[in-house]
Amino acid sequence: MARDGGVSCLRSSETMRVGIGGMESPPLDLDDVHVLAVDDSLVDRIVIERLLRITSCKVTAVDSGWRALEFLGLDNEKASAELDRLKVDLIITDYCMPGMTGYELLKKIKESSSFRQVPVVIMSSENVLTRIDRCLEEGAEDFLLKPVKLADVKRLRSSLTRDVKLSNANKRKLPEDSVPVNTSLPPPPSPFTISPDSSDSSPPSTISPESSDSSPPLSPVEIFSSPLSSLLDDEDDDVLPSSPESSPAPEESPVRRQKMGSPGLD
Amino acid sequence: MDALVAQLQMQYRNYTVSLYQQGFLDDQFTELKKLQDDASPDFVAEVLSLFFEDCVKLIGNMARALDQTGTVDFSQVGASVHQLKGSSSSVGAKRVKGLCITFKEYCEANNYEGCVRCLQQVDIEFKALQTKLQDMFNLEKQIIQAGGKVPQVDIN
């Protein structure tokens, strides 16, 4: 168990698998869910790490928003080829952290073109509705009340598996020289713009692996991942947003995705 | 051998239940036990050990902050209390967590005497929990050494 305050990766091989350091990446394991966990408390970091690993996630745990941005490559302007391989399927962060709060981290992630589609879950020990609302408005997928339980993480995990499988199936069809994903380059003209007048456009949610032969190349991170639960539709009462009963059926997710806008537009 | 195991297991069950009944532990501790398995048989002990280290560190911070005669920065004390509240909550250390809630209120009220009292109590409480858990983990070891399995204890 790593005890330092920095990045704690329980298995360095997992870090290498996400291609940091320019190593040749092994074939993508389609069932791999890679989670970036952010929490300034060591105890909480160890617990969340264990919760995630026990639900078959690969985990990278860091102790601050700055380290998270560093890990994601969002702390500098340099284009990096390695980022093509950086696969983060979920970011789960504590809200109250010194320096950069989870909310500020959420905003920075949602501002980045590389990672804005990655679901971000906020954890907090305080059940403050205005805080929850603010995070959801900023694009957080879910809000978990601490202490986090196994059932919470299992629920997150099962939502993710389906979406990672979908998006990974699309990744397999990518040509070798797919569009770069670095934020410093202007966004490439997206052949897959969601526009009403596009005659052959189909809603992103209905992409199935079999039909992607004829689909335009997708940037590795411009994947359409379903939100974990459509909290925007929930009634705002005292019930925690993270309660399983409030999660809508997956079919509702296309509405949410189109709200987020297409990658090529800002 | 079996009689010994059975006796130890009963002792263990009773002891564990009493810890919950006396408010030392709450169901988050039960949640932590769910994360322990044959591959990670010492997970709970390891997390609790980190928690106790955290207690020592944070209580030290609080003591230092409260020791600034005349110019106590209560927000600084409160920041450490907040962290301790968080980690005690995460491991199921119910009494420590409860004390932190009171402690936080005293910080917000800039109540020096209240804070000093809470600091003393928190120190006593985490050490008491540490001792109790050590006894519990020792019972687990004895059961295993006697050839038995540590029973799942149903707290209800």
Work out the percent of chain A whose per-residue pLDDT is above 70: 45
Q: Residue A40: is its pLDDT beyond 90?
A: yes
User: Where does A55-128 have alpha helices with state H?
Assistant: 65-72, 102-111
Question: How many angstroms separate the CA atoms of A88 and A35, rounded?
Answer: 6
The predicted structure's pLDDT at residue A157: 86
Residue A244 CB neighbour total at 10 angstroms:
10
Q: Which residues of B touch A154 (CB under 8 A)?
A: none
Q: Identify the band that residue A6 occupies on the pLDDT scale cut at 50, 70 and 90.
A: low
Which chain A residue has the Cα nearest residue B48? A43
**Mind listing the pLDDT tens digit for each residue in A121-176?**
999 999 999 999 999 999 999 999 999 999 999 998 888 776 666 666 665 544 44
Residue A193 scores a pLDDT above 70: no
List of chain B residues whose C-beta atoms are within 8 Å of the C-beta of residue A41: 54, 83, 86-87, 90
Q: Which residue of B has its CA nearest to A53?
A: B35
Which residues in chain B are closer than 8 Å to A50, comparing Cβ atoms?
A: 35, 40, 43, 47
Please name every residue paired with A33 in a beta bridge, in sequence order, or none if there are none: A57
C-alpha B129/C-alpha B17 separation (Å) is: 14
**Do the Cβ atoms of A70 and A154 come closer than 8 Å?**
no
pLDDT in tens, B1-31: 689 999 999 999 999 999 999 999 999 999 9
Average pLDDT over residues B106-115: 96
pLDDT of residue A265 exceeding 80: no
Q: Is the minimum CB–CB distance between A4 and chain B shorter than 8 Å?
A: no
Residues A44, B83: C-beta atoms closer than 8 Å: no
Q: Name the residue in chain B with its Cα closest to that of A126.
A: B86
- B26-43 confidence digits (pLDDT tens): 999 999 999 999 889 999
Q: How much is the average pLDDT of B57-75? A: 92
CA angle B143, B146, B148 (to 5 degrees): 55
Provide the token pair at A113: 């073109």
Q: Which two tokens stand for residue A69?
A: 């941005």
Whether residues A50 and B82 touch (CB distance < 8 A) is answered with: no
Asked if B43's CB is within 8 angstroms of A50's CB, the reply is yes
pLDDT over 80 (residue A78)? no
Mean pLDDT within A11-18: 42
| Residue to substitute from A41, A43, A48, A64, interface B, most B β-carbons within 10 A | A43
pLDDT at res. A165? 62
Residue A13 pLDDT > 80: no
Are the beta carbons of A44 and B90 separated by less than 8 Å? yes
Using CA coordinates, name the residue in chain B closest to A151.
B31
**Residue A134, min C-alpha distance to chain B (Å):** 22
Record the tokens describing residue A161, joined without a space. 């598996």
A120 and A110 Cβ atoms separated by less than 8 Å: yes
> How many residues can be counted in chain B?
156
Edge-to-edge order in the sheet of strand A33-38: A57-62, A33-38, A90-94, A120-124, A142-145
What average pLDDT does the segment A229-247 reach? Answer: 41
Q: H helices then E strands: how many in chain A?
A: 7, 5
Provide the H-helix boundaries in chain B: 2-21, 27-34, 43-66, 74-91, 94-108, 112-145
Residue A226 confidence (pLDDT) above 90: no
pLDDT score for A170: 62
Residues contacting residue A176 through CB under 8 Å, at least 6 positions apart:
none
- Best mean pLDDT range from A66-80, A223-237, A246-260, B93-107: B93-107
pLDDT of A192 higher than 50: no
Q: Could you tell me the two tokens for A219? A: 């940037």
Check residue A253 and give its pLDDT.
40
Using CA atoms, how far apart are residues A95 and A126, in angstroms rounded to an integer?
Answer: 9
Chain B residues with a Cβ under 8 Å from any Cβ in chain A: 28, 31-32, 34-35, 37, 40, 43, 46-47, 50-51, 54, 82-83, 85-87, 89-92
Q: What distance in Å separates the CA atoms of residue B57 and residue B83, rounded to the nearest whole number?
A: 11
DSSP string, A171-196: HHT--TTPPP--TTSPPPPPTT---T
| Cβ atoms B82, B106 nearer than 8 A | no
Q: B142 and B8 in contact (C-beta within 8 Å)?
A: yes
Residue given tokens 């005349």 in the structure block: B70
In 3D, which of A228, A212, A219 has the Cα closest to residue A166? A212
